[in-house]
Chains A and B, each alone.
Chain A
Amino acid sequence: MATVKDLLKSKFSQVWYVTPTSSVSDALKLLSEQQIGAVLVVEAGKIVGIFSERDFARKALSPEVNLDTPVGDLMVRGVYYVTPDQSVESCMALMTAKRFRHLPVLEDGKLVGVISIGDVIKQIMYEKDSTIQSLEDYIWVHMI
């Protein structure tokens, strides 16, 4: 069964981040340039939050929020993370239960990548297809 490490290997694992004092405008430009839906918010080497298109769309309705607002005011704190040795299934369960599309990957407290729901689903589909293929092969070889 595949682990988070396998996903990071098969993916260009550049991690994009901003700091809590970055403006919303800078964070949105980064999302746009990198064609991603969320960025981590990092302060002194530590993850302090995550900021997504959804956070912006929801919080833009507050009258005090504008493009100069620091990301620290809009980010979601208490970010869940996974470790490289965790199974892809456990990530899927966490993402589904908490409705997250992105999870940072930490190894010994150090940020080594981010996985998205798309990566996770692709892997799980691939594994299910492989299982189906081997079961069908078994039937062909042994039972027909």
Chain B
Amino acid sequence: MATVNNLLLQKGNDVWTVQTGNSIKDTLTLMAEKNIGAVLVLDGPKIIGIFSERDYARHAAALESMLLDKPVDQFMTQSVYYVSPQQTVEEVMALMTSKKIRHLPVLENEQLVGIISIGDVVKQIMSDKETTILGLENYILGRDYSG
């Protein structure tokens, strides 16, 4: 069964982050440049939150303001879940589904080593299931052919 580590090997360890105090404008600019839906917010090396397109849309609606000059840490989601490289993609999928989150940072020995999205996880699970189906079909066919 595939693990988070398998996913990171495929997609790389790029993690896009902003620092606490950075403006919403700079944060949105980074998200646009990298074409991503969320960035981690750090205080020095430490993760203190995550900021997504959804966070932005919800806060702008509630406060009736574009918020562009405000610091990102005021509007980020503070409770950040994370996973470790050894966890299975199924565990990650369950966490993402139950918490309704699309992105999870990957931490190894408290070091940030990557970020995975629901898209990465779904792709992997689909491909695992396809492999299982093929294997079972081959088993059945192989046995049938040999009599």
Interface set of A (CB-CB < 8 Å, partner B): 25, 28-29, 31-32, 37, 53-54, 56-58, 60-61, 65-67, 121, 124-125, 128-129, 131-132, 135-136, 138-139, 143
* CB-based closest 9 A-B pairs: A28-B61, A135-B136, A57-B53, A128-B129, A53-B57, A53-B53, A32-B61, A29-B61, A57-B56
Number of B residues near A (Cβ < 8 Å) is: 30
B31 at the interface (CB under 8 A from A): yes
Interface on chain A toward B: helix, strand, loop, or mixed SS? helix
- Contact between chains at A132 and B61 (CB < 8 Å): no
How far is the CB of B59 from the nearest CB of chain A, in Å?
9
- Contact between chains at A128 and B56 (CB < 8 Å): no
- Contact between chains at B126 and A57 (CB < 8 Å): no
Interface set of B (CB-CB < 8 Å, partner A): 25, 28-29, 31-32, 37, 53-54, 56-58, 60-62, 64-66, 68, 122, 125-126, 129-130, 132-133, 136-137, 139-140, 143
Chain A contacts for B57, CB-based, 8 A: 28, 31-32, 53, 56-57
- Contact between chains at B31 and A57 (CB < 8 Å): yes
- Contact between chains at B140 and A56 (CB < 8 Å): no
- Contact between chains at B61 and A31 (CB < 8 Å): yes
How far is the CB of B123 from the nearest CB of chain A, in Å?
9
- Contact between chains at A135 and B61 (CB < 8 Å): no
A29 to B63, CA, bound (A): 10
